[in-house]
Structure 1
Amino acid sequence: MNPPASAQEKTQLEQTSKPLVQKVAIIGAGLGGLAVAVALRKLGYNVQVYEKAQDFRPVGGGLGLLPNGLNFLQAIAPELVTLIKNSGCEVITTVLKNNQGETIRTNPASRYQDKYGQPLVTVWWWHLQQVLASQLPADIIHLHHRCLGFQQDDTGVEIYFDNGSVVSADLLIGADGINSVIREVLIQDGKPRYLESMSWRAVIKCNQQVLNPGELGFVKGNRDFMYLLNVGDGHFAWLYRRLSLDNSLSENPAAVKSRILSYITDWGESLRALVEATPAERILEGPICDRLPVNSWSQGRVTLLGDAAHPMAPALGQGANSTFEDAYELAYSLSQASSWQTALANYEQRRIPRTQSIQTRSAIGEMRYYETESEAAARQMQEQSAISREEFQDSIFSYKPPQAIALHAILESGFQS
């Protein structure tokens, strides 16, 4: 007998035992911090999130949620994927264009749903943050709390903030991004590594003529390229990247906009118009950076998650998606272990080998964007014996939450008895 719909729709994270610790502090109210907060609250944990920003405002660029990320969000809270799809855009077709805006090739994006059981969804970072925040009580998110550091002992962790606050917790999760304060204390590996790729991105609301609804576009230039994304509710995202040894930033927003326009002066009018229509202050400029993989993210009662743990180039689109894997797997480890020490060890064992390989391939992928045809052909000849791009994508996209099969079996056996 099949279980009733209400049982089928239950989250895969359920409170089956007493929480291992009383209070969990999370540094960072980005995508990873909010996702793990939602997951841990499902398990009955007292979770508090501390964010350096003074308010939530429309920030960030467009991003793609791939099957593995959606699988793990669905495992955290089934309604999340529905909310995200309503907020963003399910991609129907991918389009390759030249830098005059002319279409070279189109491909259906149905393979994601057909092969992996989830679509490709493009969404505005800010809208995704709001969807996650909507799953949490407002009083557990503490804005205007820039973390300065922490100290820990056998009894707990003390966290220090620039507003003078001192917070005590039993477990601390650093989800504070590539320039993580928590990581710097734990690992002390200095500044991120610049990958010789500069980025400019923005989200605007405009009547653009470049993409049809449901399309995702890629524009191949000469040592530069642009992604074009419908991100829902009439919003449109463009992301421009350029090979550059120089990672210096422009002096002001007007200079940022002028800089991009000077780079794409020979591009087609429809593409230049997107940048020209973007208010200068909405354009985000920055270097593409990562860090080298490490073999441990935890010390004592403190661990890392997302970009704080494994910052990677965006070439494979796995920054946010792998972060949602982290959020679920950390909560899952805490739900299965007999102690928080064992839970953190299990979390690292499950996550680090996978993210190390994704970090490494992402850095390589970033440089492949800028290859000429002859360079790409030469590389492919050398890589014939290596795991193929398709095989590696399969290993990423087909990844499922560890409890999915076990929970299904439990529900089936429970309702058959």
Structure 2
Amino acid sequence: MRVLVAGAGIGGLCLAQGLVRAGVDVRVFEREPGADSRYQGFRIGLDGPGLAALRACLPPRLHRLLEAVTGPLAGERRVVDQQLNELRKLGPAADGTAADRHVLRQLLLAGLGDRVEFGRAVTGYDATGYQERAGGRVEARLSDGGSAVGDLLVGADGVGSAVRRQLLPGAEVVDLPGNALLGRTPLTERLAALVPGAGTLVRGSGLSLLIGRMEFRRPPRLAAAELAPDVELPHTESYLRWVAMLPEPLGPGPEAWARVRDRLLDLLDGWHPDLVELVRRSDTGNSSPLTIRHARPVPHWGTGPVTLLGDAVHAMPPSAGQGANTAFRDAAQLCRSLTAVHCGEAELAAAVEEYELQMLDRGFAAVADGLGRLSEFTPAR
């Protein structure tokens, strides 16, 4: 059996790691030219089921490294005003794990080698005559004019998924109104006090700031050198991740982050100096405007040689912190299903259908949860 994966994001790579561990032939095709070609996003929080799913797919030799290059995510979540006066508590977060998306992606690439092909996006597929083909195979079309043939194509190519557009042309992804700015600021002793627990929400007039801490247990590059010398991780220092939520965009279209940051600083005039310092010291290379989207629910499409995973099917707002967790659970479940097929314990179509039905229920329940909680963080217009 050969599995083709569209997209080398964390969900697709988690699936690939699990399939390699099970002895299944897998190939991953990614549109980006390389693993470091763009900013990868912010700190993510992993809950118990999400972390367990990730560990189930990773080879055991990388488990100690995963522990070393993540951080704690626990303690009280609080709401404060713009002078840092506490307004209320949201309750303690269940013990979780904070992970940097870029570091985690590099870890998930470890050992995959030439199974991951950068600069070759899946642009579509041909499943004509699927039932009549020997072995029921599907052909993926690639952006460089090439193609690849496998038994199953998994669309893990994110919110703009080309695989989803062909499989589910009527599926909708909705851009939510308002504006969000994503920032990353080096962690200092002074700024660390802004987040004494799992997270801090700052409520201001027409503006909210969500602040979380990404404090690595060990520096990623040094931890890799000791625990898994064949794995190369980036030199990433601990930081605060923050998201500014505004009811309206700061300006028309994409702009240089430095200019957007300066206008945000104007809005923070009179706020507590530590909050102003948080934004002023943000890393311009790792901060950006952020569009918040969500997918509308879709019915089961009828199992065939193509399926979907993660944001490619159930993109969700970050307000419930379930995007990465749900993608890892998708990956682990699909890996178990395909492993059973590989071992002769299940038929491919039945195994994939069972995965899809559970994935749709789980994924769109998480979307609804995220939408229900979004108002907690969105400022009034």
Please classify the TM superposition score into its range, dividing by the shorter chain length.
0.7 to 0.9
Correspondence for 1:128 among 94, 101, 104: 104
Alignment CA distance shift 1:299-1:198 (3 Å): farther
Displacement of 1:144 in angstroms is 1.1
**Corresponding position: 1:152 with 2:127:** yes
Residue 292 of structure 1 is matched in structure 2 by 296
The answer (yes or no) to whether the contact 1:91–1:214 under 8 Å persists in 2 is: no
Displacement of 1:282 in angstroms is 2.5
In the alignment, the residues of structure 2 paired with residue 39 and residue 61 of structure 1 have an alpha-carbon distance, to the nearest angstrom, of: 24
Give TM-score, length-normalised by structure 1: 0.75
Displacement of 1:236 in angstroms is 2.7
In the alignment, the residues of structure 2 paired with residue 239 and residue 192 of structure 1 have an alpha-carbon distance, to the nearest angstrom, of: 22
Residue 366 of structure 1 is matched in structure 2 by 374
Correspondence for 1:333 among 327, 331, 337: 337
Alignment CA distance shift 1:351-1:369 (3 Å): same
**Corresponding position: 1:305 with 2:280:** no
Residue 143 of structure 1 is matched in structure 2 by 118
In the alignment, the residues of structure 2 paired with residue 164 and residue 204 of structure 1 have an alpha-carbon distance, to the nearest angstrom, of: 41
Alignment CA distance shift 1:297-1:287 (3 Å): farther
**What are the residue-to-residue correspondences of 1:17-416 with 2, within 5 Å?**
21=1, 23-57=2-36, 59-77=40-58, 78=60, 82-96=64-78, 97-103=80-86, 109=92, 112=94, 119-134=95-110, 136-153=111-128, 154=130, 155=133, 156-189=137-170, 192-207=173-188, 209-212=190-193, 215-221=197-203, 222-231=205-214, 232=216, 233-244=237-248, 249-296=253-300, 299-336=303-340, 338-370=346-378
Q: Which moved more, 1:75-84 or 1:182-191?
A: 75-84
| Equivalent position SS for 1:150 | strand
Alignment CA distance shift 1:263-1:80 (3 Å): farther
AA matched with 1:129: R
Residue 227 of structure 2 is matched in structure 1 by none
In the alignment, the residues of structure 1 paired with residue 119 and residue 373 of structure 2 have an alpha-carbon distance, to the nearest angstrom, of: 36
AA matched with 2:17: V
Q: Which moved more, 1:363-372 or 1:41-50?
A: 363-372
AA matched with 1:152: A
AA matched with 2:4: A
| Equivalent position SS for 1:91 | strand
Displacement of 1:108 in angstroms is 8.1
In the alignment, the residues of structure 1 paired with residue 257 and residue 138 of structure 2 have an alpha-carbon distance, to the nearest angstrom, of: 40
In the alignment, the residues of structure 2 paired with residue 278 and residue 229 of structure 1 have an alpha-carbon distance, to the nearest angstrom, of: 14
Give TM-score, length-normalised by structure 2: 0.81
Alignment CA distance shift 1:246-1:300 (3 Å): farther
Displacement of 1:49 in angstroms is 0.9
In the alignment, the residues of structure 2 paired with residue 206 and residue 251 of structure 1 have an alpha-carbon distance, to the nearest angstrom, of: 26
The answer (yes or no) to whether the contact 1:257–1:283 under 8 Å persists in 2 is: no
Residue 406 of structure 1 is matched in structure 2 by none
The answer (yes or no) to whether the contact 1:205–1:235 under 8 Å persists in 2 is: yes
**What are the residue-to-residue correspondences of 1:11-22 with 2, within 5 Å?**
21=1
In the alignment, the residues of structure 2 paired with residue 214 and residue 86 of structure 1 have an alpha-carbon distance, to the nearest angstrom, of: 21
Residue 414 of structure 1 is matched in structure 2 by none
Displacement of 1:219 in angstroms is 2.4
Displacement of 1:41 in angstroms is 1.4
Aligned residues: 343
Displacement of 1:190 in angstroms is 6.1
Displacement of 1:193 in angstroms is 0.5
Displacement of 1:99 in angstroms is 2.1
Q: Which moved more, 1:57-66 or 1:215-224?
A: 215-224
- The answer for unaligned runs of 5 or more in structure 2 is 217-236
Q: Percent identity?
A: 25
Displacement of 1:149 in angstroms is 1.5
| Equivalent position SS for 1:210 | helix
Displacement of 1:214 in angstroms is 7.1
Displacement of 1:223 in angstroms is 4.4
In the alignment, the residues of structure 2 paired with residue 167 and residue 185 of structure 1 have an alpha-carbon distance, to the nearest angstrom, of: 17
